[in-house]
Amino acid sequence: MLTSIDNIRKEILELIEKILIYKLPEAKREEIEAMFSLSDLKQTRFYRDAKEDGREEGKL
């Protein structure tokens, strides 16, 4: 169950994702990773949960 802080983090990350997509529509994923330290993002609970969700959906 997500806490209010987890919900806020999720919303912030979704906002950042949308901004990046709109502002950098031609950028490749690797380019964005080089510009922003996404290694820190990969350590977040949100990222790990989203990755696990993706794996589970891939099994369906």
CB proximity list for 24: less than 8 A, separation 6 or greater: 31, 32
Q: Quick check: 47 and 41 in contact, CB under 8 A?
A: yes
Q: Quick check: 46 and 9 in contact, CB under 8 A?
A: yes
Taking only the tens of pLDDT, the chain with its 60 residues reads 567 777 787 788 778 878 887 888 898 877 776 666 666 677 788 888 888 888 887 876
Q: Tokens 């806490």 identify what position?
A: 3
Supply the pTM of this predicted model.
Answer: 0.45
Q: How many domains does the chain have?
A: 1
What's the domain range around 38?
4-59
Give dist(CA 46, CA 60) in Å, integer. Answer: 21
Give dist(CA 12, CA 5) in Å, integer. Answer: 10
